[in-house]
């Protein structure tokens, strides 16, 4: 496990799905529900283990664990429990489908979910989206979006990004940096958005980092400053999200979590999605970066912003 990928939830050793299924059943027996037992069972097993528990529960009792829990629970706590019992891709796909099918498109959700993923992750999201909705993600984006932002999003889900496994190519980094400069602040005419989309959508994240470093030598300013000058609206936000992901992936997610709790009210759907989807990947590392950025513990901010069993579940996911 690398320093930048410390999870807060790990697979349970000596996993016993039959015992776990029985515990869930016991938690819903009689009057009332044992929420503490439900929370403990959720955070002490990995996503794959939780799905295996669901299968065992159905085999043992002829009932759907998720539906039984939904009958007993409510509010944000129910939503968080549903997210924990769903596959990681399902949580993201539901958010994408909601963002694309509601009144008006929620571009910030598309940016958060699509701009920070590897080609492999985007392939999984796209496959699951089509299985759940009967429509390809590319078709949904093409129908609901327009202009350069549509091209950026469709380019991302096309899966052209190179793998991060290989070494960086300094010659390619220099050429891409020059191409970005020529397409943006180096042009006397309008910005060539397609060149920015081509490079930022297709190069590996480590290659882009080298390109952004070279860009400062070419232009005497950061790529962020140039994008801020040359673009506006959703396309600017999307390009900057990719740059932020390349520069500091932990800060990217720490920012998104902080935004979900900032101001009046909480974006509970966003908070649940971010904490659950990162819990088995790098939430422990995000938590440390969060403290560096905001001089406060993520645990304390979640505690201040939530309440009840919902709060207890999120705090168990975050970890002290």
How does pLDDT run across 73-84, given as a tens digit for each residue?
A: 999 999 999 999
Write down the pLDDT at residue 24. Answer: 98
Round to whole Å and give the CA distance between 195 and 190. 12
Write down the pLDDT at residue 178. Answer: 96
Helix (H, G, I), strand (E, B), or coil: what is residue 296? coil
Measured from the Cβ of residue 79, the count of other Cβ atoms closer than 10 Å reads 17
17: its two tokens: 């799905």
Write down the pLDDT at residue 280. Answer: 97
Q: CA distances (Å), 66 to each of 28, 136, 317, in order?
A: 12, 27, 19
Write down the pLDDT at residue 216. Answer: 96
H-run or E-run covering 162: none
Q: Which is nearest to 21 in space by CA: 62, 65, 83, 72?
A: 65
Round to whole Å and give the CA distance between 274 and 111. 13
Residues 201-229 as b or e (16 or more Cβ within 10 Å = b):
bbbbbbbbbbbbebbeebbeeebeebbee
Task: For the chain, give the longest Cα–Cα distance.
Answer: 74
Ranges of the chain whose pLDDT falls below 50: 1-3
249: its two tokens: 């992936």
Q: How many Cα atoms are found within 13 Å in the side-chain-facing hemisphere of 180?
A: 34
pLDDT in tens, 165-201: 778 999 999 999 999 999 998 876 677 999 999 999 9
Write down the pLDDT at residue 101. Answer: 87
Q: Please report the DSSP string for 209-229 in residue order.
A: HHHHHHHHHHHSS-HHHHHHH
Q: CA distances (Å), 62 to each of 77, 93, 307, in order?
A: 25, 28, 34
Q: For the chain, what are the domain ranges?
A: 170-247
CATH superfamily of 170-247: Annexin (1.10.220.10)
Q: Name the average pLDDT for the chain.
A: 94
Q: Which is nearest to 278 in space by CA: 91, 3, 76?
A: 91
Write down the pLDDT at residue 104. Answer: 65
């Amino acid at each position: 496990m690398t320093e930048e990928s410390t999870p807060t939830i790990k697979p349970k050793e000596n996993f016993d799905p039959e015992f776990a299924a029985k515990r869930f059943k016991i938690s819903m027996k009689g009057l009332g529900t044992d929420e503490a037992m439900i929370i403990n069972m959720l955070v002490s097993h990995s996503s794959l283990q939780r799905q295996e528990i669901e299968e065992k529960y159905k085999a043992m009792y002829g009932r759907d664990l998720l539906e039984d829990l939904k009958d007993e629970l409510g509010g944000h706590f129910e939503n968080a429990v549903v997210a924990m019992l769903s596959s990681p891709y399902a949580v993201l796909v539901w958010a994408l489908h909601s963002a694309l099918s509601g009144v008006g498109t929620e571009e910030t959700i598309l940016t958060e979910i699509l701009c920070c993923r590897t080609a492999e992750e985007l392939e999984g999201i796209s496959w699951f989206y089509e299985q759940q909705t009967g429509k390809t993600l590319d078709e949904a984006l093409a129908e609901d979006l327009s202009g350069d932002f549509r091209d950026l999003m469709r380019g991302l889900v096309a899966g052209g990004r190179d793998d991060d496994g290989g070494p960086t190519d300094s010659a390619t980094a220099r050429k891409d940096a020059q191409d970005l400069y020529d397409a943006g602040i180096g042009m006397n005419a309008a910005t060539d958005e397609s060149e920015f989309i081509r490079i930022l959508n297709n190069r590996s994240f480590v290659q882009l980092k080298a390109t952004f470093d070279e860009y400062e030598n070419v232009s005497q300013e950061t790529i962020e400053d140039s994008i801020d000058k040359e673009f506006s609206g959703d396309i600017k936000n999307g390009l900057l999200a990719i740059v932020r992901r390349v520069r500091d992936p932990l800060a990217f997610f720490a920012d998104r979590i902080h935004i979900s709790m900032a101001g009046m009210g909480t974006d509970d759907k966003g908070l649940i999605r971010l904490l659950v989807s990162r819990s088995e990947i790098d939430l422990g590392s995000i938590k440390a970066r969060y403290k560096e950025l905001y001089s406060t513990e993520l645990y304390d901010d979640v505690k201040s912003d939530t309440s009840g069993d919902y709060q207890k579940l999120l705090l168990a996911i975050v970890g002290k």
